[in-house]
Structures are given as structure tokens and as C-alpha cells.
Chain A
Amino acid sequence: MKLNELKPNPGAVTKAFSVGRGIGSGKGKTSGRGVKGQKARTGVALKGFQGGQMPLERRLPKVGFTNVGRIDYATVTLRRIQDALDAGKIDPKKPVDEQALLNAGVVRRLREGVKVIGNAVLTAKLELSVTHATKGAIAAIEKAGGKIAVARPDRADVPPPPKKLPKKNA
């Protein structure tokens, strides 16, 4: 076999559509775009236009906000940690930190920290150190005889910021 004998499988290559090549081609005048003018150009976004009525997305009031303080946790359930234990990917004898969870494939990327949730029954005593955990998860880990260190505890455990005094001459 030589270089000039190579070819793709039959049927693998479709010929490019040729448009704007006369009436006989069937794709002559408007080249399959339906109309002439603005709508025949690329990049035209008339799709959101609802005939002149106030569009639905502008008729309804705005709702909600984006929480700038939100922490983007990589969430992991106790069930997945247990599965990794069963598969031998986590060594229960060593302390398990976030990097160990990443190496075991329990979390794919660490984001801003790992949050442990769930209340599955663990079979091993684990010594976890993560960023955050729910109360149920902490209870489940301690019930199995393990320990958990949480770098960023629940917001309810943190004392709230001092309240602003009300203005006197309101």
C-alpha cells in the first residue's frame, strides 16, 4: 500500500453543500436561508423577539440575588467514602485529608474545600480533616469511632457579627 492509495471509507465523506450557484441547483437565490436582508446574515439574533409585546422575561419581576460569600465546596457523601474504603482506595489507618480524598477519586477537584455530608454507616474508624461537614455526617463518623477535624465549622456555631444600633432620629 502506498500513500496515494489511502482513502477514507466509502460513505464517510459527504460533499460540502454548494449554495448560491443558480436556479438549477435548487439552492440558488437565497441559498437556503429563506429570506434576503438582515435575517440572511450571520450573527442575527431575532429569536428572542416576541412580535413587539413585552417579552415574558421582562414582564416578570426580578427574583433573587447571587451570594458573593458563597463557598464553592466539593461535596462528598459518606456513602462514597465508604465505597472507596471497600475498594481499598482509602487507607483507614492513616489520617485522611482532602488530598487523600482527591487521590482516591472520591472528589474530582478540591474547589474551595471539601464538605462531607450524609449519614451512611461507616465500617472503619476514620481520622478525617476537611473544610466542612454537616452535623449528621460528624455524628456518623464519631459513631463509628472516628474523628473529624473541620476547618470551617457550621455558620450556626460562629458568633454572629455585632448588630448595628438603630438610628435615633428616624
Chain B
Amino acid sequence: MKIAVKNLQNKEVGQMDLDDAVFAAPVRKDVLLQMVNYQLAKRRAGTHKVKGVSEVSGTGKKPWKQKGTGRARFGSLRAPQFRGGGIIFGPVVRSHATDLPKRVRKLALRTALSVKASEGKLVILDEAVAKAPKTKEMAKALSAFESSSILVIGGSEIDANFDLATRNLPFVDVLPLAGANVYDILRRDTLFLTRDAVTALTERLKTA
């Protein structure tokens, strides 16, 4: 599959060949959903906690004797039916992460790239570099693409000026190559890949 390579002003500067195995894979919505759920579950901090019967403060002494008082029988005043008592089956600090096989995760990234390519929402950039760290100029340049939201995946390192120039732009995300992930790709409307990113991702993803 041939695709145009553009510069940051949306001018065509060349052509590039995309590997069909990576950029024209069949659309597996279910795999994308699994991957997104995996990512969102994995990033949860899991810092939620309530106190059970054994953890709430207070004595474990039997409040009054079993018989003869005319009152209901109780063994503890911190049992779950009491005000100030423990909570049954409440949230505890834990990891919410689930497992997903590496091959499925790879397949999901291939699928996400292919979805963007088939929808025409994939733009190949010559390079993601800015001359000066000026957000205003960057916003003007990116407006040429007429996209509501953008994710740029650059090479292994992001150009410092480009990073600074895009940092404060709403709906524009920039990730280095290692950060390429399904959730962020689907979250933004248009995906921008640099030449380097395409080569590296193809190398990484072409085999199952």
C-alpha cells in the first residue's frame, strides 16, 4: 500500500510503502475492546479500602451477658449491622490488572493502525520537528490538517522544540515510539506517524 508522506504544512513531500500485514490487517473490534479494557484496568491505582470487622477500632468484648437482661443477644458492637461497625465485602487495595496474551496485544496494535489507515485518518509525516518552541506557530501549522484531535507518534526520541510547541495544544498528544498504544490511538481522531515510527512499528509488528 502506497501512501503520501507529508510535511507539517500538509504538503506532499514523497511517497512511502506501508506493510499490509501491519497497516491493512482485518478489523477486529473485539480485540480492540479487549485491549482497551486491559489498558484501562491496568492503569487503575486500586487504592480503595474500607475496614472490615477485624479492622475497625473498638473492643471485641461481649457488650452484655447472653441471658437475663431482656436485650437482644450480641457478641460484639462492631459487627456489620451496627453503626460504626465493619463493612462486609468492601473494596480492598488491589491490582485491577487482567492478563492478555502478548500476541493478542500485538494484534490489537496492528488492528488499531489498520483501522486508522482504512479510514484515511493516518498521516505519515516526514519528520516531527519544530524550529522554535512556539505553540502559536505549531497550532497554525496543524490547522492545515483540519482534524479535531491528533496523536503524533514520533521516533524513539521526541524533538524538544516539537514537544514544547505541542504541549499546551488541546486535543494534540505526542508520544515517543515506545509509547505507541491502542487506547491513545483510538482516543484521537487522526494518527500522525513519522517515517521513523512507521519503519520501527513495522519491524516490531510484522510477525505475530
Return chain B residues, CB-CB under 8 Å to A61: none
- Which of B25-33, B150-158, B197-205 lies on the face that meets chain A? B25-33
Q: How far is the CA of A166 from the CA of B89 in the complex (A)?
A: 65
Residues 106 to 156 of chain B near chain A (Cβ within 8 Å): 115, 119
- Which of A1-9, A113-121, A154-162 lies on the face that meets chain B? A1-9
Cross-chain contact B187 with A1 (CB below 8 angstroms): no
Cross-chain contact A7 with B186 (CB below 8 angstroms): no
Number of A-B contacts (CB under 8 A): 26
Query: Would you give the shortest CB distance from B32 to chain A, in whole angstroms?
Result: 5
Q: How large is the interface on A (under 10, 10 to 19, 20 to 34, 35 or more residues)?
A: under 10
Q: Using a Cβ–Cβ cut-off of 8 Å, how many residues does chain B contribute to the interface with A? A: 11
Cross-chain contact A1 with B33 (CB below 8 angstroms): no
Interface residue B21 (Cβ < 8 Å from any Cβ of A): no
Which of B30, B183, B186 touches A1 (beta carbons < 8 Å)? B186
Q: How far is the CA of A7 from the CA of B32 in the complex (A)?
A: 9
Question: How does the 8 Å CB contact mask read for A5-20 relative to B, with 1 for contact and 0 for none?
Answer: 1111100100000000
Interface residue B172 (Cβ < 8 Å from any Cβ of A): no
Interface residue B8 (Cβ < 8 Å from any Cβ of A): no
Which of B33, B119, B183 touches A7 (beta carbons < 8 Å)? B33
Return chain B residues, CB-CB under 8 Å to A12: 30
Interface residue B18 (Cβ < 8 Å from any Cβ of A): no
Return chain A residues, CB-CB under 8 Å to B79: none
Q: How far is the CA of A8 from the CA of B32 in the complex (A)?
A: 9
Interface residues of A (CB under 8 A from B): 1-3, 5-9, 12
Interface residues of B (CB under 8 A from A): 27, 29-30, 32-33, 36, 115, 119, 183, 186-187
In addition to A1-B29, A1-B115, 9 A-B residue pairs with Cβ atoms within 8 Å of each other are A1-B32, A3-B36, A3-B183, A3-B186, A3-B187, A6-B32, A6-B36, A6-B186, A12-B30
